[in-house]
Structure 1
Amino acid sequence: MAIAQRVNFRRLRTSIPYAALLAQIAGLVAAVLLFAALRDLEHKAQTTEFRQQASMRAMRLEQGLDDAVNSLAILNQLFVTNDTVSREQFRVFTAPLLARHPSIQAFNFHRIVPGEARAAYEAEMQHQFPGFRITELSEGKPVPARVRARHIVVDYLEPHRGNEAAFGLDVGGYSHLVRVMQQAADTGRSAASSLFQLAQGEGEARLGFEVVMPIYRKGAPLNDVHARRAAWIGDTAVIFSARNLIEKTFAGDGLLKEGSPDISVYAAATADETQLAFRKGNMPAAASRQVGWRRWFVPVPEEPFTHSFTVADKPWLLIVSPAQESPVIGQYGSIYVLIGGILFSLLAAAYIQALVTREQRVRKLVEERTQDANHANQLLREDIAARERLEHALELRNRAIEASPNAIIITSAEPPNYPIEYVNPAFVQMTGYSHGEILGKSMRILMGTDNKQPGIAEFKAATIEQRPAHAVIRSYRKDGTMFWNDLYTSPVRDASGKVTHFVAAQYDITDMKRYEAELEIRANRDTVTGLANRNLLRDRLSQALAYAARYMHPVWVVHLDLDRFKFINDTLGLSAGDELLKQVARRLEVSVRETDTVARLAADEFILVLPERSNESTAIHTMQRIMDAVAKPYIIEGHEFFMTTSAGMAVYPSDGEDAETLMKHADIAMYRAKETGRNNYQFYTPAMNERALERLRLEGDLRLALEHDQFELHYQPQVDLRTGRVTGMEALVRWQHPTFGMVAPARFIGLAEETGLIVPIGAWVICAACIQAKAWQDAGLGELRVAVNLSARQFVQKDLAASIASALQQCGLAPHCLEIELTESLIMDDVEHAIGAMRELAALGVHLSVDDFGTGYSSLSYLKRLPIHALKIDQSFVRDIGSDPDDAAIVATIISLAHSLRLQVIAEGVETAEQLEFLRSHGCDAMQGYYFSKPVPAGEFETVVGNNIQIADLPSFK
């Protein structure tokens, strides 16, 4: 028995380490299996979170690029809907777009300039931008562009500040940009370039890309590629600094904060480092699998996330990689379980070792209870893990809804009010209603009394039918302000399929609606006056003609042009000119009926469409009312102005049966009104068309006359009535046309005034007259004073005195030998400006005279302030001094007045001995006219002076 006890004791002692070892091994195996399962769950959670973050960045990048590129489509509509776009319109239109998209480097308008037109284009641009040249980049600096068959020039540029290097840049030398522009012109859609070095910016900010949209010639067919290429005249473009655009797109949503994934963006379909647009962190690379013990404790890094998309038909690539330096947070739960399992197995082994000495029954009972406890713990851990996952998912959804920038509403499905049960913070911010004020209320509170909208009926039907719905409706905030609500609703069903709630998402699209309305206004209304523009005019006139053709009613088309409007712009500036146009527009609208159309065609030109004027007398009455309204005084910037207008009228159907013909004939009649002295209206006649064609030919030839040296000066002697000797002459310009011969001044001087060519022609006259006077002095003919007329456009030049001084200095003529003649009406247009300008001229030492005196209603109070030396009596008074006592009295009064003011008097148009005797007897100082000599070329004038012909030799003088 003792032996048996020893044997049992030996067996018991031997079984102790085996039991403990088995318990420890079992615990370790269970801990390792549980660790592996939890580690797998952690890895999947990390993978899901990484892909969500990467997808969010891909969506935000694509949305941000599309939104920025769409601004180009808005700008392009400005050129599509307007025949001409001024630089001011371009600046005003792009200002809100630049404010809305600060990542935009610049907006451009590329103008196509043929090589042969380059010089003319640069000359025209230099009037506005002195020193302007078409340039290209050489070593990063702008230099004059090389000669090319075609230049694609950056003509309009906003903002100009910071982008000066790009203004005037010829991008026609950059083949990659030309290919993109050609692609856009061929397809009619926007196209994006590859990355390239911009002309503006510094460092990484210079790497950018450009998106272009074509502009075609108005009315040209665009039915195929060849037609679009033929009609292509330029394009609008938006330029981005790639890094700035992408960085602002991500930074705006906090997607570049520390610890966020690494990002690489390529402007190509592949990871081409030459087209790298943006990078945060390290270069993307496939994750290498970790080895050793770390692979069991730290989840393997995720493979990079790639996303391909297009920007204006060009492929782009986004690669998002896990941040290599970012620690893995929240991924150590499995390690804690493993450590706990190891500790638990060791404790279990110790516990078994302590109890193994008990009877087999107790040991078996303990083992069974231990197994039950392990199973219960396993089930408990699984239940806790499942509950944590569910809570995490619910918390994530709640955070997403709370953080959403768009308003989210959840309503009950209980009719009839469907009360609101939840709104997120975006709803509170959008509507002004707090949670307490809106919960339990119906969504009808947002519509107020505006409940007759079609969209509301759609939502009612969708609610009853328990289906999704979408509509744009007018909603109202708590303070009563209206906003446009883009609203989506969808039913929410429970596990059994029953609809228990409705979820709604609403978007405030008020700004979008405002932009649409602004584009509509810009498409059909003049931006300065608010009148109909050319597009709306064509539509209104077409409708009026269609109605007139059906009911046999006449339609009157009136072309109005303000007389001497440029004088206002030149003296007071463009803002004053705009104010005058606004006042004229209001007067025109008041003077016609509501059914009539008043449109601004261009600058100071207006078109009136007057339908259903049954007869000519009615139309004349309307025109007289319009002329009287325009002629009333204007107060602008404290100055009082009087403005007149010239008008031409054409009537349907006698003067044309379509809109273009009627507008053309009204324009011809308007020019006829200007030729007949302005401030009147003319009816169109077929003879005017021939005059218009002749005028058009003369205008084209007049532009080449200076270049081809076709002008010459004739000189009319001025004779001293006391001595009878020639003391001076008046220089008069003549045009020797190669086809028409000598063109009378009356045929081309007015045309030169209208086109602005009078300024270079007048400058040539002054220079040529001074040179001739100096030559005659050097030839021994004495100090003959030469008189030159100044036009209104010359007189308002800021550098007038400087240019005359330069001409005198170049030819060496003494200033007192030059006389500047100014018409009385020119001086009285703006007396204060005239006095200042004349004082500058008088300071040079030149003589000043008032031409055509007696026709301009001058005030004596102004006359005594003018620094003048002589008055020239208009020939209309001299002509009838022998037969008209009134004219004789006027001439005698002018002579007496001038002598009282210590001024000389010169009489123009003296043609008879009777006129000469009257002037001599009343003390007139000098005369000029056909009685002594008509205007003659320089050679004949030398003969007159050289032969010492005197007025005393004439019969009447003796």
Structure 2
Amino acid sequence: FLDTDTGDKLLRLADQALYKSKENKADPERSWVLFGEEIHKTQRTPAQQMLDTGGLEVWYQPILDSRTRKVVGVEALARLRDTDGTLWTPEKFLPQLQNADFLSLSKAVLTQALADVPILDAQGWRLWVSVNIDPVSVSEACIACLREMIAQGSVNPSRITLEILEGSNFLEQQAALERLLEMKALGVHLALDDVGSAYSSLLRLKDLPIDEIKLDQGFIRTLENRPHDLHFVGAIQELAAGLGVELVVEGVETEDILDAVTVMGVSLLQGYAIAKPMPLAELQTFLGRTPSHQQHPNSLLGLYAKQLVHHNALKKSIRQDPRLVDYMTLVDATSCPVHADMQRLGVDRDGLLDKLHQAYHRAIAVMDALLIASPDSDDWSEVERAQKALEQAIMEIYCNRKTENGHPACAIENPTDPIATDHF
């Protein structure tokens, strides 16, 4: 309500509003005029003010190809620098942004990334770059902006990956498919981020025009306490292979986890065990270092992964054709590469792992012979029991060593704790 003392003042203000409206009746954006009160703009939050005044910094987290041990890409991540020099990370500034800010943020990050990539190119580091796009921002205006940025830039769009969250309602809408196809037509790659963090229909997933899936880091960061989640990692690998897309595993925060996922055969890895997010200058220094080469597995968690991978490969081969596997080789545990790894790592001083490993090979050799004699046989229970016993023994030794070294005890059966993720 207007703060008026008299009816005359109210009528005067109404007349002024009427005349002003008539003057602008052809302007649809000025269909009404307000008089008699000061119009206050909505107060911008500190994060919005930093975004408005150039406080954005783009940091980069390297993505490693585990097969070549070389950095092949980077994820561009937003940071905001306060006037006092304080650096704000996404978990602090994202809650202060509104929907309209996310498009501006993504545009600013991509703009800076497209300016920095040619600098890296000139120094011999030809990397691809990924940028997070909030699903709310995916619109015709977003696509038009992206088209203009690609046309004005010098970076081939095939080196740009746009990451979209899996759990968004946007992906359940038919309009999502149309918009994503428009983006793909520009030549960029699309990634589905945080796969596994929310319910997602596999039928819907297979229809989306994605080139890459990024496993939610909540499954990876806790592998030291929940090694059994490596089975889930293997399942996602199968899913990615079936979809014909790349798999990037985030949350590779420790050397043991790096060892395990490398042994699992995951090619693209991201996390603190490789490198933390860093400004461009630090990234250039990091890229100039000589990469280290290690033999895998080099930890008990890696040995656990090695046995899991070896078991799955043997089982698949035997099911495909049991005659392809030589019985005498199969029953001899010492010919297995896992045996050589156990000896190299020196983890079987009391002989328990060796005995369990031998029992596993006897069980799977018997299963192979049984399938040759009776192809309809499909009772793998003895093999699975032997496999589980070996896995459990490896993990007990691993967890005991962690406890002895002052690390938290393994909580293998506990649910995964929620992990804050860096979406920008």
Which category of TM-score, normalised to the shorter sequence, fits these structures?
A: 0.5 to 0.7
Aligned to 2:273: 931
Residues 157 and 167 in structure 1, CA contact (< 8 A), matched pair in contact too = no
For the residue of structure 1 that corresponds to 2:144, the secondary structure is helix
Preserved CA contact (<8 Å) 2:190 2:210:
yes
Return the offset for 1:901: 1.4
- Mapping of 1:343-354 within 5 angstroms? none
Alpha-carbon distance in structure 1 between the residues aligned to 2:196 and 2:28: 56
Aligned to 1:739: 84
Output one character per residue of 1:399-431: Cα deviation in whole Å (capped at 9) or x when no partner. Answer: xxxxxxxxxxxxxxxxxxxxxxxxxxxxxxxxx
Q: Which one-letter code corresponds to 2:133 in the other structure?
A: L
Match of residue 73 from structure 2: 728
Query: What residue number does 1:789 align with?
Result: 132
Instruction: Supply the distance in 1 between the matched residues of 2:96 and 2:36 (Cα, whole angstroms).
Output: 32
Distance 1:826 1:884 in 2: 27
CA contact (8 A) 1:794 1:800 kept: yes
Answer yes or no: is the 8 Å Cα contact 2:190–2:211 preserved in 1. yes
Residues 882 and 914 in structure 1, CA contact (< 8 A), matched pair in contact too: yes
In the TM superposition, residue 744 of structure 1 has moved relative to its aligned partner by 2.1
Output the CA distance in 2 between the equivalents of 1:879 and 1:939: 28
Q: How does 1:343-742 map to 2 (within 5 A)?
A: 699-739=44-84, 741-742=86-87
Contact 2:263 2:296 in 1 (8 A): no
| Change in 2 beyond 3 A, CA 1:834/1:767 | same
What is the match of residue 95 of structure 2?
A: 750
Q: Could you tell me how far apart the structure 1 residues matched to 2:106 and 2:131 are?
A: 9
Report whether the alignment pairs 1:164 with 2:26. Answer: yes
- Structure 2 CA distance for partners of 1:736 and 1:897, relative to 1, 3 Å: same
Secondary structure in structure 2 of the residue aligned to 1:952? coil
840 and 912 in structure 1: CA distance in 2 versus 1, 3 angstrom threshold: same
Q: Tell me which amino acid in the other structure corresponds to 2:26.
A: E
What TM-score comes out, normalization by structure 1 length? 0.28
Q: Which secondary structure does the structure 2 equivalent of 1:788 belong to?
A: strand
- 1:815 is the counterpart of 2:151: no
Pair 870,216 (structure 1): closer, same or farther in 2 beyond 3 Å: same
Q: Deviation per CA, 1:685-707, whole angstroms, max 9, x where unpaired?
A: xxxxxxxxxxx99x443333244
Name the SS for the 1:882 alignment partner: coil
Shift of 1:215: 5.1
User: Which of residues 801, 825, 835 is equivalent to 2:177?
Assistant: 835
Residue 767 of structure 1 is matched in structure 2 by 111
Q: CA deviation at 1:748?
A: 0.9
- Residue 907 (structure 1) aligned to one of 249, 260, 263: 249
Work out the number of aligned pairs and report it: 287
Cα shift readout 1:699-720 (whole Å, capped 9, x = no counterpart): 4433332443211111000000
Give me the whole-angstrom Cα distance separating, in 2, the residues matched to 1:166 and 1:815: 39
Contact 2:255–2:273 at 8 Å: present in 1 too?
yes
Alignment root-mean-square deviation, CA: 3.4
Question: Residue in 2 aligned with 1:919?
Answer: 261
Whole-angstrom CA distance in 1 between matches of 2:16 and 2:296: 72
- After superposition, the C-alpha distances for 1:832-865 in whole angstroms (9 at most, x for unaligned) are 2221111111111111111111012111111111
Aligned partners of 1:822 and 1:892: how far apart in 2? 23
Provide the rounded CA distance (Å) in 2 between the counterparts of 1:830 and 1:109: 49
Q: CA deviation at 1:750?
A: 2.2
| Shift, 1:732, TM fit | 0.5
Per the TM alignment, residue 157 of structure 1 is displaced from its structure 2 partner at its CA by 6.3
Q: Distance in 2 between matches of 1:166 and 1:798?
A: 22
CA distance in 2, matches of 1:166, 1:873: 48
Q: 1:833 & 1:167 partners in 2: Cα distance? A: 28
Residue 860 of structure 1 pairs with residue 202 of structure 2: yes
The answer (yes or no) to whether the contact 1:828–1:856 under 8 Å persists in 2 is no
CA distance in 1: counterparts of 2:258 and 2:144, whole angstroms: 39
Tell me the SS of whatever aligns to 1:936: coil
- 1:9-88 matched pairs, under 5 angstroms: none
Matches within 5 A, 1:310-321: none
**Structure 2 match to 1:952:** 293
**SS, match of residue 825 in structure 1:** coil
**How many Å separate the matches in 1 of 2:17 and 2:122?**
55
Does 2:122 correspond to 1:778? yes
Give distance in 2, aligned partners of 1:929 and 1:824.
20
Give the secondary-structure state (helix, strand or coil) at the position aligned to 2:293.
Answer: helix
8 Å Cα contact 2:171/2:177 also seen in 1: no
Q: Distance in 1 between matches of 2:74 and 2:295?
A: 19
1: distance between equivalents of 2:83 and 2:100?
Answer: 22
Distance 2:58 2:120 in 1: 14
Partner SS for 2:77: strand
The alpha-carbon deviation at position 801 of structure 1 amounts to 1.9
Q: Structure 2 matches for 1:43-442, cutoff 5 A? A: 110=17, 154=20, 163-164=25-26, 216-217=36-37
Paired residues of 1:719 and 1:951 also in contact (CA < 8 A): no
Larger radius of gyration: 1
Bigger share in strand: 1
Counterpart in the other structure of 2:234 = 892
CA 760–167 in structure 1, closer or farther in 2 if over 3 Å, else same: closer
Q: Does the residue aligned with 1:757 lie in a helix, a strand or coil? A: helix
**Whole-angstrom CA distance in 1 between matches of 2:156 and 2:271:** 26
- Measured in 1, the distance between the counterparts of 2:232 and 2:52 equals 44
Distance 1:849 1:167, change over 3 A: closer
Q: Which runs of 5+ in 1 are unaligned?
A: 1-78, 82-106, 112-152, 172-213, 218-231, 234-695
2: CA distance, partners of 1:808 / 1:954: 41
In 1: Cα distance, 2:293 partner to 2:208 partner: 34
| Residue 145 (structure 2) pairs with residue 803 (structure 1) | yes
Change over 3 Å in CA distance of 1:804–1:892 after alignment to 2: same
Secondary structure of the equivalent of 2:79?
strand
CA contact (8 A) 1:819 1:848 kept: yes
Q: Show CA shifts across 1:23-72 (max 9, x none).
A: xxxxxxxxxxxxxxxxxxxxxxxxxxxxxxxxxxxxxxxxxxxxxxxxxx
What whole-Å deviation, never above 9, does each CA across 1:701-748 have from its counterpart, x for those lacking one? 333324432111110000001111000000001111013611121111
Unaligned stretches of 5+ in structure 2? 4-13, 300-424
CA distance in 1, matches of 2:161, 2:96: 25
User: Percent identity at matched positions?
Assistant: 28
Deviation for aligned residue 1:886:
4.7
Q: Distance in 2 between matches of 1:763 and 1:108?
A: 44
Cα distance change on mapping 1:930 and 1:157 into 2, 3 Å: farther
Paired with 2:271 and 2:292, the residues of 1 have a C-alpha distance of: 12
Q: Distance in 2 between matches of 1:700 and 1:799?
A: 25
Once the two structures are superposed, residues 256-294 of structure 1 have per-residue CA deviations (whole angstroms, 9 ceiling, x without a partner) of: xxxxxxxxxxxxxxxxxxxxxxxxxxxxxxxxxxxxxxx
**Does the CA contact (< 8 Å) of 2:172 and 2:204 recur in 1?**
no
The one-letter amino acid of 1:164's match is: A
Alpha-carbon distance between aligned partners in 1 of 2:152 and 2:65, rounded to the nearest angstrom: 29
CA distance in 1, matches of 2:27, 2:178: 40
Q: Could you tell me how far apart the structure 1 residues matched to 2:231 and 2:173 are?
A: 27
CA distance in 1, matches of 2:185, 2:113: 20
Q: Distance in 1 between matches of 2:203 and 2:129?
A: 29
Equivalent AA in structure 2 for residue 790 of structure 1: I
